Every structure is written in C-alpha cells, then in structure tokens.
Amino acid sequence: MKKIFVEIYLMFNLGDDLFLDILAKKYPDCQFTVNYLGVNYDTFLSHYKNVNRRKYTLINKIGQKLRITDSITNYSKIAEEHDALLFIGGSIFREEEYHRELYKDRNRLVKEFKKREKPTFILGANFGPYYSKEFYEDYLAFFKLCDDVCFRDKYSYELYKSLEQVRYAPDIVFQLSAKPYMEISKKNRVGFSIIDVNHKKGLSHYEEEYISSTVKSICLFVEKGYECYLMSFCENEGDLVTINKIKSKLDKKTISKVKTYNYTGDFEEAIQLISSLKIILAARFHANILALILGVGLISIIYSSKTTNMLKDLGITEVVTMDMLSLQFDDSFLEKALNNKIQIKELPNYSEGQFHKLESFIKGKTLEGV
C-alpha cells in the first residue's frame, strides 16, 4: 500500500473538500495523510478509511512552543514515512505578500522527498494571478523539482509547457458524476454563490457595487416568483459575512423569499441544493463547474482570471466581470442565462487525465512516458 503525504487547503471550502473526496474514493487502497494539525476536520475525515491527518498531540504542542522539538516542519521525518508527496488544490500558486516564506517552505518539503528519490505530484492547480518575473521564475525552478505538474487550465499550461513534466487536464471536479442527482427536479429557485471581495486581492473597492447589484438581482428574481438561495462555499473566506450584508439591504417582503445556505462540510447537501436550482449566479470557481455538471443555468461572476481561463477553455465567453456588475440585474441577460448550458459529456474523461501519472505510480508502474 502506497503512503502519500497530501498538501491541501482544508478550511471547509466546498471545492477543496470535493478534491479530497474524489482522491480518497478513487484510490481506496492507498493511504493518504493530509498536512493538517487541527481537530475540526476529524469528523469529515472519519468518512474515509484511507485518509488520516498528521498526528499532533499536546506533547507536540508543548515541545514546539518551547522549541525543544519541531513537529510542524519536520519534513525529513515526513519524507521518510511516506512514498510520495502530492499537492492538490486550485489557486495554490498566487503571488501574495507571504510568497517568499511559503515558497521556501514548499521547497524544503519537496527537496526532502527528492533526496530520497520519492516523487512529487501537483494536481488540479492553476498558476497566478502573478505580477512579477521573480515569482514566475521561482516556480519555474520549483516545478523542475517535481515529477508531475498537471494544470487545470490551458493558460497555466502554456506558461510552463517547456517543462516535460507539465501537462493539462480539466478541473478534477468535472469527474463528479451527475447521475445520482439527475432525479432531483428543478424548482423555481435561483442560487447566488457569494464571495467577500475584501478577501480577494485588489477587489475591495468593488464591495458596494457588488452588494448593491446582487440586491437588485435578488429583487428582480423575487418579483418574477423565484425563491433565492444565498450560498456560502467557504465561511472562513468571508462568504457568510457578505451574505449578511446583502440581506441587511433587503425589505421584509423580499427577504421572506431569501434563504441562506452555509457549507460546513456536507457537500452532498450542497450539491443536491445546486441540482434543484434553475439558475445560479456563480462567483465561486466550483459553483461554475457544478452548474455545468448538473445542468443548471449559469451566470458566471468573474472575480479572478482563473475562472475566465477555465470557461474560455470550454468556449464560454459571456460572463459578468467586476466592471459590468449591472448585468446581474439585466433582464434580457438573465433570461438568456437560463439556457446557458453546454454539453460536457467528454469532460469527465479528459479530467481523469489529472491522475494519470499518480495512478501509474500507485500501481507500481514507471512514471516515464505515461
């Protein structure tokens, strides 16, 4: 049984939780250890016999605090105990203020596996947004250390395609089967996948317009007889805070037709709700993908190029940008979006390509030429 150490963002973010679910179910005979030290994910992880988190006891905490031991960045021990390293996530290569520290930490971890001739995989990611040549070149060196880098968009692939280990395949969540949800009937419901623009670099000045345009859109749909669901995909990133700001702007008559959904780890519940919608105004990246999978009318609210690049790969160009938020309450645009659906029959198969080299490794085959 292969033991794989997994770097993944665990903050009850619907998209990342789906990544872990797909990974764990795809390889039930592989043992995964997630790089997570808290206890609040224990209930979520208990659903998987093949997923554990790092052991971090009270003794470890005391030793770390007193600087007697290092149980957080003891990467040599981690590399000794595992057969491979896997980074799995979406926007994990953004240029942020903490880049230098994070980059050094990632390098240390990868190099410990490299020393022992154990492979490193990067799956499901996009590159950027980035602003400096230094950031690009740092990760050019980093990706050279890795054995497999599979981006989820062609833009990122084009940036690094000179490296032989760099590949492209559609987002991992496209592998989610729509079949279990096909019997859920579409109700007179509209979903709003909400974000906190203050949590997104360089977008805080859009807050007032984002909230006001969403309020106008809700009012328009309620007038048409729809029930509106405001959906938080990640409370930790401020989705719920923004939802409450939006609700505070609604009158009593309108708010009676508005419900809040806050994702806290039950992704089946979230997917079932999305399946019941006729249309979703999707700011969250994976709200877009779930709408496409589940046959829900889609209006994409673009806050990041990662969503633009993914939709462009699929031939979808009619979107709402932060400079055109008034389209959220443009009647003709909304009516057209009710039928904004594309055929994605082949995408699940293409998305499987994300795992080709990891699967080869798990099955004991050579990585070369896969």
Q: Is the pTM value of this prediction over 0.75?
A: yes
Q: 179-345 maps to which CATH number?
A: 3.40.50.2000
Task: Note down pLDDT in tens along the chain; length 370 residues.
Answer: 999 999 999 999 999 999 999 999 999 999 999 999 889 999 999 999 999 999 754 445 444 454 555 556 789 999 999 999 999 999 999 999 899 999 999 999 999 999 999 999 999 999 999 999 999 999 999 999 999 999 999 999 999 999 999 999 999 999 999 999 999 999 999 999 999 999 988 899 999 999 999 999 999 999 999 999 999 999 999 999 999 999 999 999 999 999 999 999 999 999 999 999 999 999 999 999 999 999 999 999 999 999 999 999 988 888 999 999 999 999 888 888 777 667 677 888 999 999 999 999 999 876 654 4
Between CA 292 and CA 252 the distance in angstroms is 33
Q: Tell me which DSSP letter residue 127 carries.
A: B
Question: What's the start-to-end Cα distance of the chain, in Å?
Answer: 21
Contact at 8 Å (CB) between 204 and 197? Answer: yes
CA distances from 145 to 159, 166, 318 (A): 17, 11, 38
* Bond into 129 cis (ω within 30): yes
Spans of all domains in the chain: 3-168, 179-345
The two domains 3-168 and 179-345 share their CATH topology (first three levels equal): yes
3-168 topology per CATH: Rossmann fold (3.40.50)
